[in-house]
Amino acid sequence: MFKPFSSVVNTSYNRVAGHSLDRLAALSDGIFAVAMTLLVLDLALPSVRSVHHEGQLARLLLQAIAPRFLTYLMSFLTLGIFWVGQQTQLNHLTHADRHLSWIHLAFLFSVTLTPFSTGLLSAFIKFRLALVIYWVNLLLLGAILYGSWGYAVRARLVQEDVTHDTLAAICHRIVIAQSLYALGALLCIFSTYWSIGFIVLVQLNYAVAPPFRHLLHRQAKPQN
Amino acid sequence: MFKPFSSVVNTSYNRVAGHSLDRLAALSDGIFAVAMTLLVLDLALPSVRSVHHEGQLARLLLQAIAPRFLTYLMSFLTLGIFWVGQQTQLNHLTHADRHLSWIHLAFLFSVTLTPFSTGLLSAFIKFRLALVIYWVNLLLLGAILYGSWGYAVRARLVQEDVTHDTLAAICHRIVIAQSLYALGALLCIFSTYWSIGFIVLVQLNYAVAPPFRHLLHRQAKPQN
Amino acid sequence: MFKPFSSVVNTSYNRVAGHSLDRLAALSDGIFAVAMTLLVLDLALPSVRSVHHEGQLARLLLQAIAPRFLTYLMSFLTLGIFWVGQQTQLNHLTHADRHLSWIHLAFLFSVTLTPFSTGLLSAFIKFRLALVIYWVNLLLLGAILYGSWGYAVRARLVQEDVTHDTLAAICHRIVIAQSLYALGALLCIFSTYWSIGFIVLVQLNYAVAPPFRHLLHRQAKPQN
Amino acid sequence: MFKPFSSVVNTSYNRVAGHSLDRLAALSDGIFAVAMTLLVLDLALPSVRSVHHEGQLARLLLQAIAPRFLTYLMSFLTLGIFWVGQQTQLNHLTHADRHLSWIHLAFLFSVTLTPFSTGLLSAFIKFRLALVIYWVNLLLLGAILYGSWGYAVRARLVQEDVTHDTLAAICHRIVIAQSLYALGALLCIFSTYWSIGFIVLVQLNYAVAPPFRHLLHRQAKPQN
């Protein structure tokens, strides 16, 4: 069968490129770590010259820093949730391939956008456009992670002992979360603060609630 | 027994999510690395235009940079101490689970706050409010690490060969350090410089003193 | 045979230094992660004071941010391509040596230049000089990676089961990509936008196209 | 024998804390990666408003960026040399202990100072004080790495198969390099440019020269 030269090269190269799950995980951890820490640069310090006594500093911190602290917390939760989500996927794979690597690079591209969309929302917290851009970022993260799992299943990269239950749980999880984020974004019709509050509550539910639920249901599920 | 749909999904997902100690350690190392290096951005350079000869540069470095160097050193010691502390905990676990991952994400959130609270203290070094905020950051780091150990023990994530002695040592260590930090913070009643000096001494004792003590006691403990 | 003192030292040291592929990969992942995330700082936020309503924000984002978004995307793709390329090489080696470590440190030096050359191109997007500097950065990355592979083959660091096909594919790949980048850079005779567009298309072809081609050819290649 | 309470706690804790070479290496790679990439922020872009045509941009790049590029290159070489040096040490150890961890945290503290001392030298390149501060940074890096090796040998952390030759080579290496750096710093009596040029040449000799020497001596040393 005739194959043009560049196709031969690409085929050989693609068969050997990007097979390391370890390095994909390492790059991801690095990018998440930098993005999570860069978020704090958004909490700009009050100017030294404009503050003359403790009361002024307290007022400035409450007025200028407190709203930014909220978006900072929201974005840290976002990145934490997607870090756990990505890790869960990668832990169930036997190996990566070139296409999976590029799907995850696209995912990491959305991760690096988070400090920008967070900064935009911090600066323009009452603007619906800023909130919609933030939501598009959330949507991108979820959609690419969903696509990545679909690809991994189709390309048979998933470990053999992964049950159908787990396969489905990972997908449902993303769909439910994204539905709630979309609902939160819609609330900006009333006020962007409603949106932010709703999204933070959804995120806290994912992050914090399970331990409490876990305590309530402890007797019902002796094996954890 | 009836379980609503979302609970089924959550249960399956939570059983598989966040089990990798390696990636938790890697994310932590990344965040500590970025936070430790970002601290240096606080040592703002003197403006080129305001300096005309060596003497002026020396004076500016001593007056403007020296106090910031002190808070920079204090925060690097803080992060170093908590990095060693977290590492010690993780080294004694057999695996992570979703809840432990989120407890450590909360810990890492406090780590990312350090460059902010350090910058605030550098800029407003004579303000008690800045010192109290810095101390709250220290308290958060300690409290979450303490809670993380408690959770790990309860959830049976700790390796079997860990003795009761070690379990207790890790807890006592945090309680003693936090008591000393609280005492240091209280000293700000007199002066914030007293607080900073006291906290740095406590930290240097943790970091530097053991080797010296080690040398003094060497004959008493031949097996190290 | 007479050997001067410093040569004895160097020889012993060089025989033991820099043999760890793992740490070389870890440093590389760290530098790629920081460089990829720093790129986003280029997307400077519009000033809060100059924006009074949603329409203004939308216009500013389209006019001021959109061109910067293009260079940001191009540089993320660049770094992604070279990350996959370096990973592919390192995955085929048995170990590193001191010289390979320094070749890769030179490669990482070019990686750290990327945020600078990207920022320059964002700021002066119509200046041919900025585009040529960006292209020199691309050329450096490719040339050093090419040299690294040549050195690894000559120094017998490559795993024994690597076929001649793979050896050649890795080299051809770099030469073809660099020829296309050079052609793209030449297009700046007409307009720098043509250059940027062409380079982004070449990069997207490397990153995105293979999966599609993969789908088209699926029946012809049942074993992936 | 009587031991006060806090000493009991410290002893148990110190015996279990900081034993992981892997995490020490991971934190080091992270800090080196961030520091190496932050250096590029020193290459400040020319202001967009002050540049109207290509010639102006070229002139500004040559006048304002070129000297900063030199200090940037010098610092990247510095960090590369000390990264290889630290890696070589850690690769020869069987495990870490708490004291070694803190010695390396002090080393990493000096690494995080590098972007500051580099920025200072870039901004005040003709000031001897800036050069002396840069040299103190180099001295700190070397002295702590020297001390770390001494400690590792005394505390029996070194692998058993490490020959006396290697032990000595690692020490001699540091002493010779530091002597040359000190000589370079002394040259600032004549001009800081002489110092910088000399130090860069010494560093390039460490980084680049061995491969060439290697090629020249290839026939004399068939086994590499």
Task: Dump pLDDT digits (tens) for C164-177.
Answer: 888 888 888 889 99
Contacts of B36 in chain C (CB under 8 A): none
Q: Residue D185: its pLDDT value, please? A: 92
Does residue D19 surpass a pLDDT of 70?
no
Contacts of C30 in chain B (CB under 8 A): 30, 33
> Who has greater pLDDT, B4 or A65?
A65
- 3-state SS, residue C93: strand
Structure tokens at D47: 């202001």
Q: Quick one: closest CA in B to C38, which residue?
A: B34
How far apart, in whole angstroms, are the C-alpha atoms of residue B63 and residue B81?
Answer: 28
Mean per-residue pLDDT of chain B: 82
Contacts of A34 in chain D (CB under 8 A): 34
Full-model pTM? 0.86
D222 touches chain C (CB under 8 A): no
Does residue C218 surpass a pLDDT of 50?
no
C167 touches chain A (CB under 8 A): no
> Highest mean pLDDT: which of A171-180, D53-62, D135-144?
D135-144
D38 touches chain B (CB under 8 A): yes
Tell me if ipTM is over 0.95. no
Give the residue extent of every domain in chain A: 19-214
Provide the sign of the torsion angle of the four alpha carbons D26, D27, D28, D30, taken in this order.
positive
Nearest Cα of chain B lies from the Cα of A145 at a distance, in angstroms, of 14
Task: Please give the average per-residue pLDDT across B48-64, as a whole number.
Answer: 85
Contacts of B220 in chain D (CB under 8 A): 1
Q: Which of B23, B34, B38, B41 is the mutation pick for testing C, counting most C CBs within 10 A? A: B34
Q: Quick one: closest CA in A to C74, which residue?
A: A109
Does residue D114 surpass a pLDDT of 90?
yes
How far apart, in whole angstroms, are the C-alpha atoms of residue B80 and residue D18?
Answer: 11
CB distance C126 to C75 below 8 Å? no
Q: Residue A46: its pLDDT value, please? A: 78
Q: Quick one: closest CA in A to C78, which residue?
A: A105
D64 touches chain C (CB under 8 A): no
Q: Residue D171: its pLDDT value, please? A: 85
Q: Quick one: closest CA in B to C34, which residue?
A: B34
A18, C88: Cβ pair inside 8 Å?
Answer: yes
Does residue B5 surpass a pLDDT of 80?
no
B32: Cβ contacts below 8 Å, ≥ 6 apart? B79, B83, B111, D27, D30
How far apart, in whole angstroms, are the C-alpha atoms of residue B79 and residue B107?
Answer: 12
Task: Please give the average per-residue pLDDT across D9-38, as a whole number.
Answer: 76
Task: Check residue B86 and give left, alpha or beta (phi > 0: left; psi -120 to 50: alpha).
Answer: alpha
D63 touches chain B (CB under 8 A): no
For residues A29-59, one letter each, b for 16 or more C-beta atoms within 10 angstroms of the residue's C-beta and e for the rest, the string is: bbbbbbbbbbbbbbbebbeeeebeeeeebee
D33 touches chain A (CB under 8 A): yes
Mean per-residue pLDDT of chain A: 82
DSSP state of C61: I
Q: How confident is the model at residue A10 (pLDDT cuts 50, 70, 90)?
A: very low
Among the listed residues D32, D119, D117, D130, the one whose alpha carbon sits nearest the alpha carbon of residue D68: D119
- 3-state SS, residue B223: coil
Residue B193 C-beta-side C-alpha neighbours within 13 Å: 2
- DSSP state string for C58-108: HHHIIIIIHHHHHHHHHHHHHHHHHHHHHHHHHHTBS---HHHHHHHHHHH
D45, C123: Cβ pair inside 8 Å?
Answer: yes
What percentage of residues in chain D have a pLDDT greater than 90?
Answer: 39
Among the listed residues B15, B95, B7, the one whose alpha carbon sits nearest the alpha carbon of residue A217: B7
> Who has greater pLDDT, D53 or C13?
D53
Q: Residue C13: its pLDDT value, please? A: 54
Tokens 């070397």 sit at which residue?
A: D142
CB distance D100 to D155 below 8 Å? yes
**Tens of pLDDT along C147-201?**
999 999 998 888 888 888 888 888 888 899 999 999 999 998 899 899 999 999 9
Structure tokens at D149: 């090796």
CB distance B63 to B50 below 8 Å? no
Among the listed residues D142, D118, D131, the one whose alpha carbon sits nearest the alpha carbon of residue D196: D131
Q: Quick one: closest CA in B to A47, which residue?
A: B123
Q: Residue C144: its pLDDT value, please? A: 95
D124, B36: Cβ pair inside 8 Å?
Answer: no
Q: Residue D180: its pLDDT value, please? A: 93
Does residue C224 surpass a pLDDT of 80?
no
Q: How confident is the model at residue D137 (pLDDT cuts 50, 70, 90)?
A: very high
Nearest Cα of chain B lies from the Cα of A75 at a distance, in angstroms, of 11
Does residue A218 surpass a pLDDT of 50?
no
A154 touches chain C (CB under 8 A): no
Q: Residue A19: its pLDDT value, please? A: 63
- Closest Cβ opposite residue C214 in set A1, A99, A127: A99
Q: Which of B38, B109, B137, B148 is the mutation pick for testing A, counting most A CBs within 10 A? A: B109
Does residue A186 surpass a pLDDT of 80?
yes
Task: Please give the average per-residue pLDDT across A150-176, as a whole number.
Answer: 86
B153 touches chain A (CB under 8 A): no
C45 touches chain D (CB under 8 A): no
Does residue A198 surpass a pLDDT of 60?
yes
Q: How confident is the model at residue D117 (pLDDT cuts 50, 70, 90)?
A: very high
Q: Residue D159: its pLDDT value, please? A: 86
CB distance C18 to D23 below 8 Å? no
Q: Quick one: closest CA in B to C37, which residue?
A: B34
- Closest Cβ opposite residue C37 in set A26, A29, A34: A34
C128 touches chain D (CB under 8 A): yes
Task: Please give the average per-residue pLDDT across B177-191, as a whole number.
Answer: 92
For residues A79-90, one letter each, b for 16 or more C-beta atoms within 10 angstroms of the residue's C-beta and e for the rest, the string is: bbbbbbbbbbbb
- Contact partners of C by the rule of 3+ C-beta pairs under 8 A? A, B, D
Q: Residue B98: its pLDDT value, please? A: 85
C154 touches chain D (CB under 8 A): no
Work out the burial of residue C11: count CB atoms within 10 Å of its CB; fewer than 13 is exposed, 13-18 middle, 19 or more buried: middle
**Tens of pLDDT along B126-175?**
899 999 999 999 999 999 999 999 999 998 888 888 888 888 888 888 89
Please provide the size of chain D in residues. 224
Q: Residue B10: its pLDDT value, please? A: 45
C105 touches chain D (CB under 8 A): yes
Q: Residue C143: its pLDDT value, please? A: 95
Contacts of C33 in chain B (CB under 8 A): 30
A166 touches chain B (CB under 8 A): yes
Contacts of B35 in chain A (CB under 8 A): 37
Does residue D194 surpass a pLDDT of 50?
yes
Q: Residue B17: its pLDDT value, please? A: 58
A37, B115: Cβ pair inside 8 Å?
Answer: yes
Does residue C6 surpass a pLDDT of 70?
no
Q: Residue A6: its pLDDT value, please? A: 39
Give whole-number Cα distances, A141 to A91, A104, A105, A172, in Å: 18, 10, 11, 15
Q: Residue A211: its pLDDT value, please? A: 47
Contacts of B166 in chain D (CB under 8 A): 12, 16
Contacts of D98 in chain B (CB under 8 A): 84, 210
Q: Quick one: closest CA in C to D87, which residue?
A: C18
